[in-house]
Every structure is written in C-alpha cells, then in structure tokens.
Structure 1
C-alpha cells in the first residue's frame, strides 16, 4: 500500500507530491512538470485558458505515465504540484528559464519584470520544497535506491515544425543508463526512439538528472514522450507498462554486464 505526502503552504497549496511504496524502493521516478496548476494569488499569470492547458504550462500525460510506472516498479514518485510557468523545477534558481517570460508562442505576462523579492519568493515556495523533498527521498533510501527516472512529454509540433521522434532517451553528465536503454530497445518496439532528442543537456534540461542523480551516484535517465501518444488514461497505461518492461530489461542487461 502506497503512502502519499504533500508539501506546500497556505498560499501556494501543494507544491510537491511524494508517493511512497510499501516496500523499500530501488527506483525513484520524478515528474517535474506534472501539473498546470497556478496558485490563485498569481492571477493565472495573466494567461488565457488555452495557454494554461497547453504544453507550455506542463507536460500533458506525463504524470499519468509516471504513476503507472510507480505502481509497476514499486518505485517512489516525486511530482511537482504547480505549473512550470510559476517555476520550472528542472531548472536551477540562477537560470532565467526557471521563470520564463515567454514559452514558444505564449507570452507570460505574470513573469515579466519580476522584482528580486518576487523571484526569490517563487524559488523559496516552489523550487526549494521540491528540491528538498526529492533530496530527502534519495538520502532516506540511499541503501536501496539504484536508479532515477524523470518522465516528461513534448509537443508534436514546435514553432510550426513537426517532430517525428516519439520517445526520447536523454542523459546529462552520466550517459550510462541512457546508453543501456538504447541498447535494450525491445524487439517489439514500434516507436521512433532517439537518443538526446527532441532535447539534450545543452538545452538545460538535465538539472534534476545531474543534481540528484549523477552527484548521488544514482544511475539516471530522462524519458521524453510525444504527448499525442499519451492523451488518455488508457494510452498512458500502455506507455507506462511499455517503459517499465524496457527499463527492467535495461537493468537486467546491466546486471549481466556486472556479473
């Protein structure tokens, strides 16, 4: 039986959710862009409904996939509870993209001309609790944890260009598990799978992998899924189970190499 923990405050609400398995986990799954929720006091950041529901505000379908994976792998799941337009938990505080003023075609009025005090408040209320919760999970289960998987989704069309890649396998400082996954692609695979697409560490997307994975000697990988493949609970379940089988195969091949 899983246990849920919530972290936040009265104004911002639940900014990070942690779901613990009943057994000691060997895998931690992270979903930094799980939610498109914007705290009420931020007045929707000046965005209309279309922008708030778009891929700019979150990773549609990613949390559903991550939840399926958590169940199948008996993993611990850490997910953000607010939109990445409030603060992108996969970016360090010094990165301007942590609180973007524009995301693809969407202007973010509520992020323009933020004072240093207002910016620090976002860091303290969103990023710090998320970073602390994930760090506590890792250090509290360091004796059993072996792997961190971050789960994301991406839009099929970006700046008007169609993306053919369907699943991206990304790495940061430590490429080993991403390379293992590419070597262990199931024979039954029907997806267009590519290494370090549609993003790579050069795009600034490896913050969580490097800070919480590589620097804690955890094998780590980021999975990017094209969001038209995971629009419903049913397709999220199919994708989640597929990824679990694939990851388990990669873990098995790594164990054989070490034997």
Structure 2
C-alpha cells in the first residue's frame, strides 16, 4: 500500500481493472493548500461517489480490482500529463489554490511523492496481470460555479480517445438502463484522457471512461443503483470483447 494509491480486490489476467484517478479527497498533514477545508468535499477536490461505487463493483464481482488515487486531485491531478500545468492546479472552478504556487523543487517533490508512484503501480499491475478491459471511473458536477449557465443534463458520460472499441457498446448498454448518456460529454476524451492514453491505449488494452453525475451518487442508495447499472454494462462489454 502507498499514500499515492489504494488497491482494492485482486487483479486478474483477462479480468476487469478499474482505475479511479480522483477517488480521494485526502490531503496529507504536511501539505497546506491554503483553501477552505469545506472545499475538500466538493467536486474540485474529489470525484464524489467513485470510491464507493468501485468497492460495490468489486463486491458484486463485476470488477476484479481497482486502483484508486490516494490523494485529492488538488494535491496532484494524476489524470494529466506530468508536465501539464494542471497536474498541480493553482486554481479550480474559480477557486484559487495558493498552496500550489510551488517552485520547481516543490513541484518535483509533489510529482515524485504521488504522481509517479501512482502511475508506476498501474503500469506494474497491468504488466503482471493484463486485463481484458479497463474501466476508468470519474464523476462530474451537475453545475460549474465558474459557468453556471452551462447545462449538464447527462446522467452519465462515455469518454474515449483513439481507441473507440468499447464506446458504442458502452453507450448502448447505459442507454438500455434508461440513462441520459453523453457521448464525449460533459467533455471529450480526445482532450482529457491522460491516464487511459498512458496505460490503456499505449498497451492496446480496451477501455471505456465513465463519468457519473455526482448528484446521482452522493448517497448509498444512488451509489448502489449506479453500481448495478455499471455491473450490467461491464458484463455486456466483457461478452463483446470475448465475442
């Protein structure tokens, strides 16, 4: 175990691996972000519901293993390229993060402590037990403080970049659940897909990025319902890959 990541379940060659880059809002005691602590419970700090849904998917046997980010995305955003400015964000959705105004040495220390161990663990897991499919699980806010007029009606989004193998089957499976599905919404995987580009596309592993709307997974009932939907989706995608 590491402060950079949390592992659930047992990876299995030919199985399903879940990756949740933003599943935690933890900020180590020796890091001061300089923000109102209440913000750590908001979408800028954590993908609400991801850790709970991941655990339910493993309990149901729909996913074999999960690798979840160990710290808040405000400490380090692991779904970015390492040299991207947003990997250590100085602002998020209109909120300044003054504690992240780091010099080069400070930024390097943050990368070495969290970002690189997280991605090294994902790479080692895939190398040791190559999955048949990767599920990249995120959640999105129904409304942005910085753009309150933007409508976000989708209940779930499906994201992908160059590898589109599982996109259409995933969209179809989620639509069958009665969900309003966003294809490359609320944002496009062609613009923001760093973890999957690195670990799925670079290795030729089929994957799908799923964005759950956060108001639907804030409580146990919502998380359970979404886990059931995603379990059925994973079952259909596994059959699609095998067939």
Q: What TM-score range do you get, normalising by the shorter chain?
A: over 0.9
Higher alpha-carbon deviation: 60-69 or 163-172:
60-69
Moved over 4 A (4+): 22-25
Cα offsets for 1:207-255 (capped at 9, x unmatched): 1111100111110111001100001122111101111101211332343
Structure 2: runs of 5 or more not aligned = none
Structure 2 residue matching 1:224: 3-state secondary structure: strand
State how far apart, in whole Å, the 2-side matches of 1:66 and 1:227 are. 14
Q: Which residue of 2 aligns with 1:69?
A: 57
CA displacement at 1:70 relative to structure 2:
2.2
Aligned length: 239
- Decide which of 110, 123, 147 is 2:99's aligned counterpart: 110
Structure 1 partner of 2:178: 190
Where do 1:94-243 residues align within 5 Å?
Answer: 94-112=83-101, 114-142=102-130, 145-158=131-144, 159-160=147-148, 161-185=150-174, 187=176, 189-203=177-191, 205-243=192-230
Task: Quote the Cα distance in structure 1 between the aligned partners of 2:137 and 2:164.
Answer: 16
Coordinate RMSD, CA, aligned: 1.6
TM-score (norm: length of structure 2): 0.93
Q: Give the structure with the larger strand fraction.
A: 1
Kindly report which structure 2 residues correspond to 1:22-37, keeping only aligned pairs within 5 A, or say none: 26-37=15-26
Counterparts of 2:129 and 2:123 in 1: how far apart (Å)? 10
Say if 1:184 and 1:253, in contact at 8 Å, map to a contact too.
Answer: no
CA distance in 2, matches of 1:220, 1:24: 15
Q: CA deviation at 1:137?
A: 0.7
Of 38, 43, 46, the match for 2:27 = 38
Aligned to 1:253: 240
Q: Following the alignment from structure 1 to structure 2, what is the Cα–Cα distance between the partners of residues 231 and 74?
A: 21
Which 10-residue stretch deviates more, 22-31 or 115-124? 22-31
The DSSP-based 3-state class of the residue aligned with 1:176 is coil
Q: Which runs of 5+ in 1 are unaligned?
A: 1-5, 8-13
> How far apart in 1 are the matches of 2:95 and 2:229?
33
- 8 Å contact kept, 1:25–1:75: no
